[in-house]
Structures are given as C-alpha cells and as structure tokens.
Amino acid sequence: MNDKEKALIEAKANILKALGHPTRLWMAEQLAGGERCVCELAENIDADFSTISKHLTILKQAGVVIDEKRGKQVYYKLKVPCILNFMPCVEAVLQANAQTHIDLLK
C-alpha cells in the first residue's frame, strides 16, 4: 500500500470513526430528518452541553455535517445526506448477529 492509498483509507476510516459513537450516530440520524440547532439536539441527549458541542465538532471535522449560525443559534445539517444510506445494511449485520445467537441456543 503506497502513501496515497494509505491516506485515502485513513480519511475514510476517520469518517466511520466519527459515526462510530452512539451520541454522534444518533445526531446524524436526527439530521437526516433535516437541520437542527444544537439546543434541539441537546433536548434528547443526557449529557453536558459542552460534551454535545464537542461531538458536533468531531462530526464537522470529519466532514459529515456543516453548521450555520443564525441569530443566537447554530444549526447543523448533513453535508452529504447519503451518509446514512447504509444504515439498513448495518441493521442487517445486527440481524445476522442476532440469528447467530439464536442458532447457538438451539
């Protein structure tokens, strides 16, 4: 693997890593339904505001979301909406895992 390929795979892994935290994945799923301000997201997350803000920063740095300040509030939205298209497949993995457990019990 050369340097270019390595940089590419690192960049891609970084995006998946950004989505690989429950709070951040939940945020992304919320944003799939349209933009939200930080306060709206915060309503349903049991964590410090600063924690929420940092999670959003990570999503932003990964390029998953973009933000826009309007008045006192900051609105976030998905930068490339297709980013959640693969969730059905992620769920298929969960299904397959569950099936494995069931099989083990037989």
Partner DNA sequence: TGCATATATGGTAGTTTGACCAAATATAAA
Partner DNA sequence: TTTATATTTGGTCAAACTACCATATATGCA
C-beta separation of 76 from 38 below 8 A: yes
Site for DNA in 30-69 (CB under 7 A): 37-39, 42, 47-58, 67, 69
Residues 6 or more apart whose CB falls under 8 angstroms from that of 63 comprise 15, 79, 80
CA dist 20 and 10 (Å) reads 15
Q: Which of DNA, its own copies, none sits in contact with 86, Cβ below 5 to 8 A by type?
A: its own copies
The residues that touch its own copies, with contacts defined as CB under 8 A, are 1, 6, 8-22, 24-26, 29, 44, 62-64, 79-80, 82-83, 85-87, 89-94, 96-97, 100
Residue numbers at the binding site for DNA (CB under 7 A): 17, 21, 23, 37-39, 42, 47-58, 67, 69, 71-74
